[in-house]
Amino acid sequence: MAKAKNQPEGEAFLAAIPEEKKIRSLGVIMDGNGRWAKARALPRTAGHIAGAKVVPRLIGDLRELGVRTVTLYAFSTENWKRPKPEVDALMGLLARYMKEVVIPKIESDPGFGVRFLGDLGKLSPDLADLCRRAERMGQGREFLCNIAFNYGGREEILHAANEAIAAGELPLTEEILERHLYTAGIPDPDLIIRTAGESRLSGFLLWQAAYSEIYITKTLWPDFSREDLVAALCDYYRRTRRFGGLAPEEGSL
């Protein structure tokens, strides 16, 4: 919602964006938890705990700013390469977060739902059940938070292709493949924000990111604030998206 007086410049700019131009879907690569912890001489796990705490605030900010779908990259198919204690801590954190934050939120807020993207089959059965239960409880809600967990873009595309082939849906088309992606029915991200400065996708939404705008900030994920979000959104709205065509003002000789 627009804050009337003393509204910072970026917020005022965002409040004036017409509805039809608004971001429908945002992706976030939440990186930098380890570096945040290291800078404080804390264990990496403390960085992951601090990072998880940012998410509810981010979701509140997104809803205020009119973004209704967000996809958070929380654990990649490659993150299993980390030392077992860190992987175990991340699994434990998801379980705790589901029980203490996500499920109570879905119960108390009729506008909030979650969906998991990725292969939950590699998680413990209890944790996978918790995730599936949360998805069922929050189906069809106005705000959708997708959690990419044990997610990898290559795995997703292969999984979708194999499902389509098994169903005899050949020859494959974009539409057929998209129906089998974990993101079926979710708009492609208009904007992907990556924190902590790396200029890469690390497997995030490889199919869906074909025409996504990408915004990289040096801010480490646990420090990501509303100001950082507003800066990213303002940057996005100042860009011209062409999708391979021409911008309207470029269309005449």
Catalytic: 31?
yes
In this structure, are strands 25-29 and 112-117 parallel, antiparallel, or unpaired? unpaired
Choose, from 33, 79, 146, 150, the residue flagged as catalytic. 79
Catalytic: 162?
no
Select the binding partner of residue 229 from Mg ion, ligand IPE, none (C-beta < 5 to 8 A, by kind): none
Looking at beta carbons only, is 31 or 228 nearer to Mg ion? 31
Nearest to ligand IPE by Cβ — which residue? 34
| Residue 85 burial by Cβ neighbours in a 10 Å radius (0-12, 13-18, 19+) | exposed
Q: What span, in angstroms and rounded, lies between the C-alpha atoms of 153 and 136?
A: 24
- Which listed range, 1-9, 24-32, 90-98, 245-253, lies at the site for Mg ion (CB under 5 A)? 24-32
Q: What is the smallest separation between the CB atom of 244 and ligand IPE, expressed in angstroms?
A: 27
Q: What is the smallest separation between the CB atom of 31 and Mg ion, expressed in angstroms?
A: 4
When binding is defined by CB under 5 A, the residue of 14, 27, 31, 217 that contacts Mg ion is: 31
Q: What span, in angstroms and rounded, lies between the C-alpha atoms of 184 and 197?
A: 29
47 close to 30: Cβ distance less than 8 angstroms: no
Nearest to Mg ion by Cβ — which residue? 31
Q: What is the C-alpha radius of gyration for the chain, rounded to an integer number of angstroms?
A: 19
Q: Which residues are catalytic?
A: 31, 79
